Structure 1
Amino acid sequence: MAEEHAEGRVAVLTPLYERLVMQALMSLGTSAPTVLTICRPGKKPLLEAPAQWPVQHEPTWETLPARATELLASKSVLLMPPWGRISSAKRSAGKAPSQWEDAVLRSCRPASSDSVLGFLVPSQLCASEAPWAVALREAIAEHWDTLLVVYGHGAMQGFDPRLETAAVFLRARTVDQPPLKIFRFSARDDEAAVEKDFQGLLARGGGRTRHGYVARRRPDPAASLAFDLHDPDIEDRRSDLAGFGGVRLLGDLYHQLPTLHLADAKNWTCSAEDPGAVRLLGGRDVGRDGTIAPVTEETLWGRVPESHLLAPGDLLVRSVQHPTDPGGFVVAELTPQDLPAAATHMAIPLRPRPGLDAQQRRFAVLFLRMPLARKLIGLQAGLHLGGSKLRALPIPQPDEALAKVLDDVTAARTRREEWQEEADSLLASVFLDRTAAAARSRIIASGRGLRLRVEAASLLDDLGHTVRTRFPYPVASRWRETEAQTSAGPSQGAYAAVLDTTEILLCYTAQLALALAWSSGIELGSATAIKDKLSAGRGGPGFGDWAFVLQEVSTSRKLRALPPGHPLHDLRSLLDNKETAQARQRLSDRRNDQAHLRRIDPVDLPRATSEALADLTCLLEAARFLADWPLLHLTTVRWDALTRTAALEYRELTGDHPVVPTRTMTVPRNDLEAGSLYLRDSDHELHLLRPFLVGRDCPTCRLWSTFHVDRAPKGKVILKSLEHGHVVEDASLALRASLEHVQLL
């Protein structure tokens, strides 16, 4: 109780918290409140009211509810808690932890329909899902509507700065319940910004500010009012989880194992030396790094039923989140080295259900450790995590493409660890040979492989190397020319090579966009413009046309309805930000100047080449997704009607050279054609590129090349190579018919 606090220790609201509380009450249409608290004559309250506010002290908590109702007849009331605890002898299971919360708030009644009541409590009362907190919120909701909750971290001077308090504002219950607003700030935040943000929230009827929001739906009376639980941004992210491939509840993936309560320790604890003793793991044994802490003198041991024993692959989650814990849940996946063991009630043990594969387990653990997982439950630091809430947590499920990437990343990490172990072993063995000459020879020979691996891996961070080796052949070959030209210093050839590579990058990606849009049944206005130019028999499409296609793709609403993994979404990202759009525009201007004989002066050539190369690099960086989209030339297709699969032979035209080995694969499709070009996207789906892109030998240079339609005079089609600009005339009716079919002619 209030009189139990240490003599002379008085806490006060911070000035910012005072102002926020007053603004909240004023926004509800009331004047300055009367502060009502408990304090015996001659004593000081543990929490002191602001000096300028009228205060009434009651000697005991029993008289508070009646006094509050009396005052509410003419003014608003702000209840200031005693912040004391009743003795353990007075507590009972499921009851509130203090007389203030359990007795006073249950008994306060509005005096009229305009009555406004505010109170300051620890945030656990609003956020906890313990039975006493749920019952108390339900009791309050019988007579009051909760209008506003203001969480303050470190908002009480004189208390532990980690303490989070809640200022709750109620109005007499009505049939048409008003919206709920929730706000949260910290003493570390800028006061002026917090106050301005709070004023903005009070004036809102919906939406969100930086520190607060208006809940989209009024929670049930029993529901936790934890800040994150009803945040519109968190709700949006909850809905967005399906974008990973699917969503399942954690309880569908794992089932919870029984635990041992420490209150019954005398019934099952023993010493480590006793036969059958197993380690008892609690929350403090789960390390933040995802491992189980080593055995210490404080480790508990016990004899437990077989149903309680943990197994490799089981998860152990801390039941209580410490304020200094990382954003997500602290969880460890048990290994054989951690066993035999069982869990106490301070941790939640979870076992994978049959059929749960390694990818799903890995993804679940990754998500549990993310801050979003904790926010979806609304768990605040210091509160106990219930197993039912954890089992109800939505867990995103990776689709096939994402699962493969995660497998590759995991394999890369394993390979890196193997290399590190090999390097450590090599370094430790330097002086183990019988002679220095033998050691020198062995170290040089053994270290050569390690050095080559590291050099090869480091090249992957080099954008130029990635473009040259992993981008599709038309772009990679042009980039090779650019690197060769620019390496010799600024020149007209280097400057022209940069602009040529830019045009081919835009041309290639635009052709992909046209082909993918056509196959998806989406009509692009930019395709109509190209059709008009080709049908008129004028000069073929160029830099501006390709840019027009990509600009339309980046802004078209038609494309938003496509599935999340469709490759057109990546193409949309190429020019959808200010930086890449401006880089493209500058390069377009330079290309126009070149075409209209506005040549760069030799004095300005070094700067112009450097700036153009920087803009091209910006576009290539944005187009990194091309490294995951190999260009395939199908050479043979054999359909097996019995197995309903097609055996393919193909050349993967990746990198800066067209001479590549023939590979094979099997796909469950019968609509593939030999001789055509295909894009293989990140999901390993094949997309036909004919007739937008055509692969054939060039009659001029005798090299295999990639062509697009450049002109279409009567009875002919003129194709132009992306790699070197050579043209070839095609008078066949088949190609022209294909172009007419996709409405390019």
Structure 2
Amino acid sequence: MVETTRLSSLSEQLVAIGFERLAQGSPRVLSSARFAQRNGLIFQAPEAWQSVDELPWDQLAARSGELLANGPLLLAPTWERRTESDGRCAVGSDSFYAEVMISCRPPSPDAAMAVLLPASAWVSDRPWAAEMRTKVAEHWDTLLVLYGAGMLTQMHVSMESAVVFLRPRAQTRPVLKVFQVPCPRLDDAAVVKDFERLLARQGGRGEYGYVLREPPGPDQGLYFDRFDPHILQRREDLAGFGAVNALGDLFTFHRAPFSDAVLKRGKQLTSSKDPGGVRMVRPRDICRDGTIAPPSEETLWATIPEDQQLAAGDLVIRRLIAPFIVPPHGFFTAEVGEDDLPAAASDQVVVLRPIKPLSRPQARLITLFLRTPLALTLSGPRLATTTMEALSALPVPQPDEALTKALDEMTAAKQQFKRWEQEAESVIESVFLEKTAARARARVIDSGRALRLRVEAASLLDDLGHSVRTRFPYPVAYRWRETEARISAGDAQAAYAAILDTAEQLLCYVAQLVLALTHAQNITLGAVTAIRDKLAGGRSGPGFGDWANVLNEAATSRQLNNLPEAHPLNDIRTLLAHADAEKARQALSERRNDQAHLRRVDPIELPHAIDVAFADLTRLVERARFLADLPLIEVTDVRWDTFARTACVEYRELAGDHPVVPTRTMTSPSNDLEKGSLYLRDTDGALHLLRPFLIGRDCPTCRTWSTFHADRVPKGAVVFKSLEHGHTLEDASPDTRHLLGQIGLV
């Protein structure tokens, strides 16, 4: 019985559109007498197209030249391969279609042909495929490659095909368009529309395809993800974690020969009760969550030489993966721990052993990355099994110092929570273990008290007010505490004023950070001119609008786009970059202006105004949470060790709503730190000088240590104003005025 295969309805529609746009006509179809590796299976042309009698494979190239002289052609060469003497199919260059493709010649400069091939012919990097594409490229330019799984009926749904549109070789290479039919498909009409838009494009990317202005050489496999602009961008973005290494630079790769059959044949199988038995880790044992499943009744045990067993720190990966269809996960990967040993890997598991010992954050980040869909995408064409070559070349991110610290802290927190959970479980289970109910009751109450206090303290961290009062820099935390106190006291006028004051001082503090950090980068913002003019005026210094201008300019300044990823300005710039924060800032600014110009809120409407204004302030503070990771530091003493090339630094971390904090000690590689000056410490631990934009002094009015910024520069003196309470400090030193001139404020 003769069976036929044909293009699916969607594939037929897309190919027809391709011919209409690229060849201005419907094609004739030329196919082989036996299309696929199955007796009697032939390719059937769409009804609307003229079909030429099927020919033996070795006549297709010559016949295609004759037909191309009269119009466009769809060529469907046989996908069969020569067989070896034992009946097995040969691979690679022994495919008949490779010889057909190499032999095809365009009869005229305007000939147009599309070829239906297995996708592997165009995506594989293997020598036979690269050679075929190279010889084809001597005579043809590739205009379009259309990929899709399930494009042909009577073929397995996972079988990926490619329809390649070719034109005779021209002096100027045309742009190359690549399209992949999504699988599974949700909306055929949307796929068709996106395909039509792609054919009209001369650059860029659509939903399911993209245009390559500079097509790769034919020696490179053109699998869809390899040159996808979205994937290339995400690959480059990996460097944002710190660094990127090929997996093969960090690990050696092993695949043990221990299949079930080999173990059985070698009489190596044993049981868990055997002291010499080793647990075999098979693909099903590597779980999606990155763990190795505990032994079960189906677990195999065997006697394996010690040098072929797994070691703590090894990574194990399932070798078998689902081809063609992108799963919602990446490689099934797990890190081997001490609790998993002794163990060995089966032949369907790839073992990665670190070349050098990895830190816990390194190993953790690599394992997490390998489990993402991006890792599977970057590993190369979708094949049924993971290859050593693909894994070796796979780029993986390496954490920088800040991310390493964060991962360490998260791991420590996870372990601490687990200990607390175990402690709580132990207390609960001990209820009926005491000799008397009274003793059991007392034990639960006493032992549970510390646990309850820990939970209460942890819960407070989700409260924004608590975070601001305890972790934000002192000037902001002090103002926030003042606002909360005024609101709770019920004095509406004082509460409303405190909200507006806090909003202004929050922007002022962050603006001072921007001015100090941009000055250190030799960048001058345009907003500095307005601030300089107001300082020189001598009557009223810069205010709410000036600080907002600084932050808005920083958010959009191109000069700041190329800063290192960990530079604190990258976080600071986001404060007003969000529409909700900018809207809240504008509303608070208008309220501040109304208040200053005696357009005060009516007492009856004041409670509602307080609610709305405090909500806007809260929105701003939420966007300023990065301040908790950028501590304000006052250096109290510095002792430089010339031989060690480090400085012992005593400092006060001014976090929270009170200036009385303990003195701490750290080491620094810098020998230019200033005793008595304020610094910003970033997430990498680097210190950034804030003087003279912000200075710390005892206030002459309230005798409290306070932070000050330049407010006015009348003749003969510089007047600084406190961020905490608005008191002023006058400095008549010529050096101070000269210093402000050096930074552009005078």
TM over 0.5: yes
Shift of 1:707: 0.9
> Structure 1 residues 142 and 424, CA, compared in 2 at 3 Å: closer, same or farther?
farther
In structure 2, the partner of 1:348 is: 350
Given that 1:13 and 1:50 are in contact with CA atoms closer than 8 Å, whether structure 2 keeps it comes out as no
Moved more, 720-729 or 126-135: 126-135
Given that 2:255 and 2:348 are in contact with CA atoms closer than 8 Å, whether structure 1 keeps it comes out as no
In structure 2, the partner of 1:271 is: 269
Distance 1:674 1:475 in 2: 23
* 1:265-304 matches, cutoff 5 A: 265=262, 268=266, 270-273=268-271, 278-295=278-295
Q: 1:23 aligns with which of 10, 17, 24?
A: 17
Moved more, 205-214 or 425-434: 425-434
Shift of 1:741: 2.4
Q: Say if 2:663 is the partner of 1:662.
A: yes
What SS does structure 1 have at the residue aligned with 2:643?
coil
Distance 2:597 2:135 in 1: 80
Shift of 1:581: 2.0
Q: Say if 2:75 is the partner of 1:73.
A: no
Shift of 1:47: 6.1
Distance 1:284 1:124 in 2: 28
> Structure 1 residues 696 and 507, CA, compared in 2 at 3 Å: closer, same or farther?
same
Given that 2:639 and 2:648 are in contact with CA atoms closer than 8 Å, whether structure 1 keeps it comes out as yes
In structure 1, the partner of 2:309 is: 309
Shift of 1:553: 0.8
Shift of 1:39: 5.9
> Structure 1 residues 81 and 486, CA, compared in 2 at 3 Å: closer, same or farther?
farther
* 1:550-629 matches, cutoff 5 A: 550-629=551-630
- Superposed CA deviations along residues 112-139 of structure 1, whole A, max 9, x for unmatched, are 3433332344544443456665555455
Given that 1:490 and 1:606 are in contact with CA atoms closer than 8 Å, whether structure 2 keeps it comes out as no
Given that 1:257 and 1:308 are in contact with CA atoms closer than 8 Å, whether structure 2 keeps it comes out as no
The aligned amino acid for 2:8 is L
- Superposed CA deviations along residues 644-687 of structure 1, whole A, max 9, x for unmatched, are 22222211110111111111112122111111111111111111
Given that 1:115 and 1:171 are in contact with CA atoms closer than 8 Å, whether structure 2 keeps it comes out as yes
The aligned amino acid for 1:535 is A
Given that 2:401 and 2:684 are in contact with CA atoms closer than 8 Å, whether structure 1 keeps it comes out as yes
In structure 2, the partner of 1:642 is: 643
- Superposed CA deviations along residues 663-719 of structure 1, whole A, max 9, x for unmatched, are 111212211111111111111111111111111111222211111111111111111
Given that 1:468 and 1:656 are in contact with CA atoms closer than 8 Å, whether structure 2 keeps it comes out as yes
In structure 1, the partner of 2:177 is: 181
Shift of 1:104: 4.7
Given that 2:269 and 2:303 are in contact with CA atoms closer than 8 Å, whether structure 1 keeps it comes out as no
Distance 2:610 2:78 in 1: 73
Q: Percent identity?
A: 54
Distance 2:316 2:124 in 1: 22
> Structure 1 residues 602 and 615, CA, compared in 2 at 3 Å: closer, same or farther?
same
The aligned amino acid for 2:22 is L
Distance 2:279 2:109 in 1: 59
Given that 1:316 and 1:334 are in contact with CA atoms closer than 8 Å, whether structure 2 keeps it comes out as yes
Distance 2:464 2:479 in 1: 14
* 1:53-72 matches, cutoff 5 A: 53-58=49-54, 60-72=56-68
Moved more, 73-82 or 519-528: 73-82
The aligned amino acid for 1:287 is C
Shift of 1:620: 1.3
Distance 1:687 1:268 in 2: 66
* 1:372-383 matches, cutoff 5 A: 372-380=374-382, 382-383=383-384
Given that 1:553 and 1:559 are in contact with CA atoms closer than 8 Å, whether structure 2 keeps it comes out as yes
In structure 1, the partner of 2:167 is: 171
Distance 1:431 1:11 in 2: 73
In structure 1, the partner of 2:30 is: 36
Q: Say if 2:251 is the partner of 1:254.
A: yes
What SS does structure 1 have at the residue aligned with 2:706?
strand
The aligned amino acid for 2:20 is M
In structure 1, the partner of 2:319 is: 319
> Structure 1 residues 121 and 667, CA, compared in 2 at 3 Å: closer, same or farther?
same
Distance 1:52 1:533 in 2: 79
Shift of 1:151: 2.6
Distance 2:117 2:303 in 1: 42
In structure 2, the partner of 1:193 is: 190
Given that 1:94 and 1:130 are in contact with CA atoms closer than 8 Å, whether structure 2 keeps it comes out as no
Distance 2:278 2:305 in 1: 10
> Structure 1 residues 149 and 325, CA, compared in 2 at 3 Å: closer, same or farther?
same
> Structure 1 residues 263 and 652, CA, compared in 2 at 3 Å: closer, same or farther?
closer
Given that 2:320 and 2:386 are in contact with CA atoms closer than 8 Å, whether structure 1 keeps it comes out as yes
Shift of 1:546: 0.5
> Structure 1 residues 356 and 544, CA, compared in 2 at 3 Å: closer, same or farther?
same
Distance 1:177 1:264 in 2: 54
> Structure 1 residues 118 and 303, CA, compared in 2 at 3 Å: closer, same or farther?
farther
In structure 2, the partner of 1:357 is: 359
- Superposed CA deviations along residues 164-216 of structure 1, whole A, max 9, x for unmatched, are 44332233344543332212232534334333322222122222222211235
In structure 1, the partner of 2:444 is: 443
Given that 2:320 and 2:348 are in contact with CA atoms closer than 8 Å, whether structure 1 keeps it comes out as yes
In structure 2, the partner of 1:523 is: 524
Q: Say if 2:123 is the partner of 1:127.
A: yes
The aligned amino acid for 1:617 is T
Distance 1:308 1:217 in 2: 47
Given that 2:244 and 2:398 are in contact with CA atoms closer than 8 Å, whether structure 1 keeps it comes out as yes
Shift of 1:630: 0.9
Given that 2:78 and 2:97 are in contact with CA atoms closer than 8 Å, whether structure 1 keeps it comes out as no
The aligned amino acid for 1:652 is E
Moved more, 23-32 or 277-286: 277-286
In structure 2, the partner of 1:231 is: 228
TM-score (norm 1): 0.91
Distance 1:191 1:492 in 2: 63
What SS does structure 1 have at the residue aligned with 2:523?
coil
Distance 1:114 1:86 in 2: 34
> Structure 1 residues 113 and 586, CA, compared in 2 at 3 Å: closer, same or farther?
same
Moved more, 315-324 or 652-661: 315-324
Shift of 1:524: 1.5
What SS does structure 1 have at the residue aligned with 2:409?
helix
Distance 1:158 1:271 in 2: 42
Given that 1:258 and 1:308 are in contact with CA atoms closer than 8 Å, whether structure 2 keeps it comes out as no
TM-score (norm 2): 0.90
In structure 1, the partner of 2:335 is: 333
In structure 2, the partner of 1:242 is: 239
Count how many residue pairs are aligned between Structure 1 and Structure 2: 736
Any gaps of 5 or more consecutive residues in structure 1? none
Distance 1:58 1:659 in 2: 92
Distance 1:37 1:303 in 2: 56
Any gaps of 5 or more consecutive residues in structure 2? none
In structure 2, the partner of 1:392 is: 393
Moved more, 229-238 or 598-607: 598-607
What SS does structure 2 have at the residue aligned with 1:310?
coil
Shift of 1:220: 3.2
Moved more, 301-310 or 515-524: 301-310
> Structure 1 residues 488 and 33, CA, compared in 2 at 3 Å: closer, same or farther?
farther
Distance 2:431 2:136 in 1: 74
Given that 2:34 and 2:78 are in contact with CA atoms closer than 8 Å, whether structure 1 keeps it comes out as no
> Structure 1 residues 127 and 454, CA, compared in 2 at 3 Å: closer, same or farther?
farther
Shift of 1:473: 0.6
Distance 2:424 2:107 in 1: 78
Moved more, 700-709 or 431-440: 431-440
Distance 1:261 1:646 in 2: 57
Shift of 1:153: 4.8
Q: Say if 2:112 is the partner of 1:110.
A: no
The aligned amino acid for 2:427 is L
In structure 2, the partner of 1:475 is: 476
Given that 1:647 and 1:665 are in contact with CA atoms closer than 8 Å, whether structure 2 keeps it comes out as yes
In structure 1, the partner of 2:8 is: 13
What SS does structure 2 have at the residue aligned with 1:375?
helix
Shift of 1:563: 1.9
Distance 1:183 1:128 in 2: 17
